[in-house]
């Protein structure tokens, strides 16, 4: 068996759990994926890619915080469903990070893993809000016969009492739109069309939102020029939405001109591990402290 890497281990030894301010938690959960596959391979691929990074993010040195990479999460024993056993194991790993006073950074795995993290925060009595980047709202009550699906995960998290800010959504069912409308005081959404039109307000987090935030990234929220290994068709709509909006604006100024398509250049470093390195020190809106969850639904990194 090849040695299991730790985050940025080419530059730094794995910090002791009790002294680290960030716990990276590899959670290769893959039980309800319904389009493509490979999410279980993502945590190892992200850790291996982190070996190609330097630890300066352009502004500061996140590794000064001391980063501990926990062992890979394995599903708990028992007779419950595989999804429930995975969630129990993820909850236990996140609870360990919280007991150590560290920020958990969970590497999925499918997006359902977020519920395990949320349960750990709930059990700890944490007052947090969820900031959710995703091409999908994930607010269905049931999907393909189960309430514990990647398509239902943010509804289960919201039902625990955590308010949501959803960013970049491009696919919303009628059921999800109705659920948002019924819970408009605790669910704030900035969908892709809204963002493409440049309508994101300067202060986009609600005033009454908790000071501490948990950030959940499903990588299909990003442009495939940034995440080139992405397989889901919804990811491509982010660029298309921006392009369509830019085209409409240009046509108003010069109706006989067409917007030209440009080729996107390759990133200088792998995006998912870079995202986690920077997020270790991310503080949106002043004093809001951030912890990070990586939901790599539909991502095939290998």
112 lies in a domain? yes
Instruction: Report the pLDDT value the prediction gives residue 232, as an integer from 0 to 100.
Output: 56
9 lies in a domain? no
Q: How confident is the model over 263-285, as pLDDT tens digits?
A: 333 333 445 555 555 555 444 44
Q: How confident is the model over 27-59, as pLDDT tens digits?
A: 999 999 987 788 899 999 999 999 988 888 788
% of the chain residues with pLDDT over 90? 56
pTM of the model: 0.78
| 253 has a pLDDT exceeding 60 | no
For CA atoms 155, 211, 203, 116, the dihedral sign is: negative
Instruction: Name the least confident of 17-31, 73-87, 180-194, 215-229.
Output: 215-229
234 lies in a domain? yes
What's the rounded mean pLDDT across residues 114-141?
96
157 lies in a domain? yes
| 256 has a pLDDT exceeding 50 | no
Q: What is the CATH number for 276?
A: 3.40.800.10
* 199 or 82, which is more confident: 82
Q: How confident is the model over 166-221, as pLDDT tens digits?
A: 999 998 999 999 999 999 999 999 999 989 899 899 999 999 999 999 999 998 88
Q: Per the structure, how many domains does the chain have?
A: 1
Cβ atoms of residues 148 and 138 within 8 Å: no
Q: How confident is the model over 134-160, as pLDDT tens digits?
A: 999 999 999 999 999 999 999 999 999
Burial of 219 (C-beta count, 10 Å sphere; 0-12/13-18/19+) = buried
3 lies in a domain? no
Give the 3-state secondary structure of residue 102: coil
In this structure, what token pair is assigned to residue 189?
């959404």
Instruction: Name the least confident of 89-93, 126-130, 280-284.
Output: 280-284
Q: Cα separations (Å) of 158 from 5, 94, 128, 132?
A: 34, 18, 11, 11
User: Using 50, 70 and 90 to split pLDDT, how confident is the model at 65?
Assistant: confident
CA 231, CA 238: separation in Å to the nearest integer?
A: 14
Instruction: Report the pLDDT value the prediction gives residue 242, as an integer from 0 to 100.
Output: 53
| 245 has a pLDDT exceeding 80 | no
CA 78, CA 47: separation in Å to the nearest integer?
A: 29
Domain, as residue range, for 73: 22-295
302 lies in a domain? no
278 lies in a domain? yes
């Amino acid at each position: 068996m090849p040695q299991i890497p730790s985050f940025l281990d080419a530059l730094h030894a794995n910090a002791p759990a009790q002294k680290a301010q960030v716990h990276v938690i590899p959670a290769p959960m893959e039980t309800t994926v319904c389009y493509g596959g490979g999410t279980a391979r993502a945590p190892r691929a992200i850790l291996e890619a982190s070996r190609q990074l330097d630890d300066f993010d352009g502004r500061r040195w996140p590794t000064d915080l001391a980063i501990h990479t926990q062992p890979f999460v394995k599903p708990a024993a028992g007779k419950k469903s595989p999804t429930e056993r995975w969630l129990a194991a993820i909850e236990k790993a996140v609870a360990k990070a919280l007991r150590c006073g560290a920020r958990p950074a969970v590497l999925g795995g499918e997006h359902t893993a977020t519920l395990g993290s949320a349960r750990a925060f709930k059990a700890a009595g944490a007052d947090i809000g969820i900031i959710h980047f995703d091409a999908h709202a994930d607010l269905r009550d049931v999907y393909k016969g189960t309430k514990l699906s990647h398509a239902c995960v943010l509804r289960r998290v919201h039902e625990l009492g955590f308010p949501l800010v959803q960013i970049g959504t491009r696919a919303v069912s009628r059921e999800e739109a109705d659920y948002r409308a019924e819970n408009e005081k605790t669910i704030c959404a900035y969908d892709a069309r809204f963002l493409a039109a440049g309508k994101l307000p300067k202060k986009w987090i609600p005033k009454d939102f908790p000071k501490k935030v948990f950030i959940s990234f499903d990588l299909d929220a990003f442009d495939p020029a940034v995440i080139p290994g992405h397989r889901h068709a919804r990811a491509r709509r982010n660029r298309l939405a921006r392009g369509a909006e830019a085209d409409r604006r240009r046509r108003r100024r010069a109706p006989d001109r067409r917007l030209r398509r440009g080729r996107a250049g390759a990133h200088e470093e792998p995006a998912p591990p870079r995202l986690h390195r920077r997020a270790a020190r991310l503080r949106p809106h002043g004093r809001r402290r951030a912890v990070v969850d990586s939901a790599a639904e539909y991502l095939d990194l290998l």
